[in-house]
Amino acid sequence: MIKINNPLWEDWDEILKRPTQTYDQIEGTVLEVFKAIQTEGDAAVARYTEKFDGIIPKDLIVSPSEIDKALTSLDSDLKEAIKLAKTNIEAFHKAQKTDPVRVETAPGVICWQEKRPIQKVGLYIPGGTAPLFSTILMLAIPAKIAGCKEVILCTPPDKQGNINPAILVTAQLCGIDKIYKVGGIQAIGAMTFGTESISKVYKIFGPGNQYVTVAKQMATKYNVSIDMPAGPSELLVVADDTADAAFVASDLLSQAEHGVDSQVILVSTSKELIAAVEEEIANQLEALPRKAIAEKAIANSKLIYVETHEKALELIDEYGPEHFIVATDSNDFYVDNIANAGSVFIGNYTPESAGDYASGTNHTLPTNGYAKQYSGVNLDSFMKSMTFQRLSEEGIQNIGNAIELMAAAEGLQAHKNAVTLRLNKLAKQN
């Protein structure tokens, strides 16, 4: 890891840069796939699945027998773990329900706001070396609580055309309507346009590699919404002498193993802790099955020493981490004052892994500094707010003249007339 000692403010932008990627060629590939799917449907999806995943799918949709096989083959202890996580995630997201807001803004003028579910949503779940079945819990559970009418899932098949059984079991437990053996750009394209087999959706959720990320961004050009802009996973830990160096190192490595472009940062007011964490990382890294991936991520990550908690907080807010762990003697200071973070983990016994799996919070979070503007996925991500208003005769008389004056001032005579006609009728009746 790169050690940085008391960085000057003018150097922060350079120090806090994320791993950069070039999207120019990716965008051309994505557009090619999108255009093919738009015109050819399932045939294009199958062709690009063969090209990118090395498998010609017999059927795009997962059959009931495949789900039954997964249910019998998955380890029973893992099933119980998934059920425990599901219970906690449901509890936390059900608590996010809100009642309609109703206000009488003037006598006879009633305004209210209600939330309605997005009718059709698509979930993208990465497969490969790290089949993220936990992400199904994070996306399908709030979708179902929100009341989305159709929830579909796309995930890439392996070389034999199969889907990881943990993905199938979790999807089944969450009540997913349809599961498709499609990954990458072609999955996002299929959900964007719809094909003979795959439904068009109104909003797409889920993480993915740089190709999926660019595909989701392109989907927004075709009247499809996405959960948030996304980039490589990241974690920032702030710690001092009260932290356990082994714990801190394990948290940093837990994010580093996601991918070679993941970024992890330790900010500390203790040079002794930084040295201890560096040693722990070297030791723990040797035992990781994904050592090669984690090593590359660690090589681009930072150990930053600052003298005060105030300076640390200022730097952290400038970075805006996806995941933020606080392990100091001043935890309340950080919790009370942090402005930019996707999700916060407090204390020595709150690993980031808890939020990834089973504490109940959602692990689909803004990366690449977008925590400054975006929230992580939550119940409202699957809903829209709609406003309503009802004016009585008294109501239109109370605010009608103001509407007429404002419409006339903007030069919109038809707007003014819509009120004037009503007021004139009421005047005649009286």
Rounded to whole angstroms, the Cα distance separating 71 from 402 reads: 64
Distance CA 75, CA 173 (A): 15
**356 annotated to bind ligand:** yes
How many Cα atoms within 13 Å fall on the side-chain side of residue 339? 9
Measured distance CA(79)–CA(74) in Å, rounded:
7
- 93 is annotated as an active-site residue: no
Provide the 10 A C-beta neighbour count for residue 364.
Answer: 20
Residue 127 one-letter amino acid: G
Are 197 and 44 within 8 A, CB to CB?
no
Which one of 257, 322, 352, 363 is the catalytic residue? 322
Marked catalytic residue, from 93, 309, 323, 363: 323
DSSP string for 179-204:
EEE--HHHHHHHHHH--SSS---SEE
Tell me how far apart the alpha carbons of residues 397 and 389 are, in angstroms, rounded to a whole number: 15
309 belongs to an annotated ligand binding site = no
**Annotated binding residue 410:** yes
Residue 397: alpha-carbon gap to chain centroid: 47
- Distance from C-alpha of 218 to C-alpha of 208, rounded to nearest angstrom: 14
Known binder of ligand: residue 124?
Answer: yes
Closest to 140 measured CA to CA, from 359, 385, 381: 381
Residue 322 falls in the annotated catalytic set? yes
User: Is residue 258 part of an annotated ligand binding site?
Assistant: yes
For 207-286, where are the alpha helices, taking DSSP H only? 210-219, 245-256, 271-285
Burial grade of 112 (CB within 10 A; 0-12, 13-18, 19 or more):
middle
Longest Cα–Cα distance of the chain, Å, equals 88
Copy the structure tokens of residue 214.
Answer: 């660019």
Annotated catalytic sites, by residue?
322-323
- Cite the annotated binding site by residue number: 124, 186, 209, 233, 255, 258, 323, 356, 410, 415
- Cite the annotated binding site for substrate by residue number: 233, 255, 258, 323, 356, 410, 415
- Cite the annotated binding site for NAD(+) by residue number: 124, 186, 209
- Cite the annotated binding site for Zn(2+) by residue number: 255, 258, 356, 415
